[in-house]
Amino acid sequence: MPIQELKAQIARLPEQPGVYLFSNAAGETVYVGKARSLRDRVRSYLGAAGADPKTDALLAEAQGL
């Protein structure tokens, strides 16, 4: 998913607890997470890009949030 598109989706997330899903181009769920603040948690993936191979792979495969 392009970073700008991900940032736009993050901006629409609430700052409330909840569950989030990353999906691939086929619409399959590739990751499920939970957070106290959905916006802050999903935004943290952008800051971790390049630091962890697993996070990089997740962001490369993710096509939806």
The pTM is what?
A: 0.78
* CATH code assigned at 31: 3.40.1440.10
What's the CA gap between 57 and 45, in Å, rounded? 11
Report CA-CA distances (Å) from 11 to 6, 8, 39: 9, 5, 7
Instruction: pLDDT band for 1, please (50, 70, 90 cuts).
Output: low
Token pair recorded at residue 55: 């996070």
Domain tally, the chain: 1
pLDDT, tens digit, 9 for 90 and up, residues 8-63: 888 999 999 999 998 998 999 999 999 999 999 988 887 776 778 888 888 888 88
Q: Identify the domain containing residue 48 by its residue range.
A: 3-61
Name the maximum alpha-carbon separation found in the chain.
28
Instruction: Return the DSSP state at 12.
Output: T
Q: How many CB atoms lie within 10 A of CB 37?
A: 15
